[in-house]
Structure formats: C-alpha cells, structure tokens
Amino acid sequence: MTFGNILIILAKGAGYTILVTLAGIGAGLAVGLLIAVLQTTKVKAVQLLLAAYTFVFRSIPLLVLLFIVFFGLPGMGIRIPPFLSMVLCLGLVSGAYLAEIFRGAMAAVSRDEITAAEAMGMKRVQIFFYIIWPQMFRMAVPGMVNEFTSVLKYTPFAYTVGIPEIMKEAMSLAALTLRGLEIYLAVGIIYYLIYKAFVLLFETLEKRFRIPGLAGE
C-alpha cells in the first residue's frame, strides 16, 4: 500500500469531517447571532443569563461537553444520536465564542450611523438588517475564520462517539496495517488541505465583499 493509497482511503472519511464542520459552523452561527442580538436588549436578567452562557461554554472543554451530552444524557432519559450530539456541542461552544466576536463587531458600528437610521424613521429590525449586520459581518471576518478553524479542528473528537470521519478511518487502518506514522501524517495533510480550502474560500468572499473603511481588526 503506497502513501497515495492511504491518502485516498482516508479521503473518504473527509466527507464526514466536512459535513460535521459545516453543520457545526451553521449551529454556531445560529447560536452566536441569537445571543448577540439578545444581548442588545436592556433587560438585566437576560444580559446576566447570556453572560453566564458564554462563560460556561467557553470554559468547559468540548470533549467533556460531548461526553456529558452523548454518554451522560441517556442516563437522564435523553438520547441524542452521535452526529447530532457532536453538532450540538460544536454549536453550543462555537456559538459562545462567535457571540463575543459579533458583540465586539457590533460595538464597532458607529453610534452616529445608528442614530441617523433612527432619525430616518427606520424600525429596529430594519436597522439590524440594513445598517448593523452588513458592517458587523465584515468586521467579524477574521474572528469568524479563527472560530471556524477551531470547529474543524474539533471534529476528530467525533470518533469518540463513533462517527466515521477521518480520524476513525485512520485508527482502523492503523490497527490493520501498523503504519501509524504514514497514516496520521496523511490525516494531517488532509486536514491541512481542508483548512486551506476554508481559508481560501473566506479570503475570496471577504475580497468580493470588501468595502473601504470597513475591515476586520
């Protein structure tokens, strides 16, 4: 078996890796945006609750969270399938980080522009959609790319709950062939390629939508 063969065999698991990553990113964006928007309300209790949420999910290791959800919850009568467990955990954790990134970016939107939009007669929702979000997303790009990279790099944990992504494939293959060095090297290369592809995609998107006077930090 050549190194090329190994790469090809493992690349099959890459489909799952990418799927888990994208689903995790999607869940994280949903959670992060929701929190960022809720944080703009002035209700003290809500603010406190959200601060607690971000603190908790930025403090507990993802692996521990995954074990709580996948191995712990069934004992409480809640059974969540492996893929969903993984995506849920990724979403909860990256959502907490993304919320902070969005909050920072939102705070950077000029107060004057929001007042101008209010003075024009725009409603709160309109101000969010037309003024705040387009600027926030652009300014949040570097932070978002970092966070998405983290999600990608957490995906190997999926093997612990039995999802057949790259890492699981690699482990079976290594047990069979005893050529762990080449196999894990191949895993590293595949991950790096996926990472590079993600970064390239984002750089292209960022360039495509770039606006003078509005860049990430």
Partner 1 sequence: MDAFVQDLIHYSPQILAGLKNTLLLMAIMSVTGIAGGIGLFYLSLAQNRFLRRGTERFISFFIGTPLLVHLFLMYYGLPPLGIRLSAFAVAVIGFTINVSAYNARYLMTAYNGLDKTQIEAARAQGFRFFQIFRLIILPQALRLSVPSLTNQVIQNLKDTSVAFLIQYPDFFAQMQEIASTNFQFFKTYVAAGLVYLALVSVIVAAARRLERKVALPGLETLGRA
Partner 2 sequence: MALIDVQDLIKRFDGKEVLKGVTMSLSEGQSKVVMGASGCGKSTLLKCLNLLVSPTSGRIIFKGEDITRPDMDIHRLRQDIGFVFQHFALYTHLTVEENITLGLRKIKKMKTAAAREKAAFELERVGMIEHRNKYPAHLSGGQKQRAAIVRALAMDPAVLFLDEPTSALDPQMSREVVTVINKLYLDNITMLCVTHDPFLAKYISDSIVFMHEGVVVAEDVAERLFYEHEDPRVRQFYLSVIDHR
Residues that bind partner 1 (CB under 8 A): 55-56, 58-65, 67-68, 71-76, 100-101, 104, 143, 149, 152-157, 160, 167, 170-171, 174, 178-185, 187-188, 191-192, 195-196, 199
Residues in a beta bridge with 214: 211
Closer of 71 and 129 to partner 1 (Cβ):
71
Answer whether 131's CB lies under 8 Å from 63's CB.
Answer: no
110: partner contacted, choices partner 2, partner 1, none (Cβ within 5-8 A by kind)? partner 2
Q: Provide the residue count of the chain.
A: 217
Q: Would you tell me how many other CB atoms lie within 10 Å of the CB of residue 197?
A: 11
Q: Which residue in 55, 71, 130, 192 binds partner 2 (CB under 8 A)?
A: 130
Q: Give the span between the Cα atoms of 37 and 102, in whole angstroms.
A: 9
Question: Which of the choices partner 2, partner 1, none does residue 178 contact, using the CB cut-off of 5 to 8 A by kind?
Answer: partner 1
Is 60 a binding residue for partner 2 by CB under 8 A? The answer is: no
Estimate the share of the chain in helix, then strand, then coil, as percent rounded to the nearest 5: 85, 0, 15
75 binds partner 2 (CB under 8 A): no
Q: Which part of the chain contacts partner 2 (CB under 8 A), choosing from 10-18, 34-42, 80-88, 128-136?
A: 128-136
Which residues, in sequence order, are CB contacts of 20 under 8 Å at separation 6+?
83, 86, 87, 90, 155, 158, 163, 165
Tokens of 141: 């790009």
User: Quick one: 16 or 191, whose CB is closer to partner 1?
Assistant: 191
Structural element, H or E, at residue 141:
helix 141-154
| Residue numbers at the binding site for partner 2 (CB under 8 A) | 110, 112-113, 115-123, 126, 130-131, 134-135, 138, 211-214
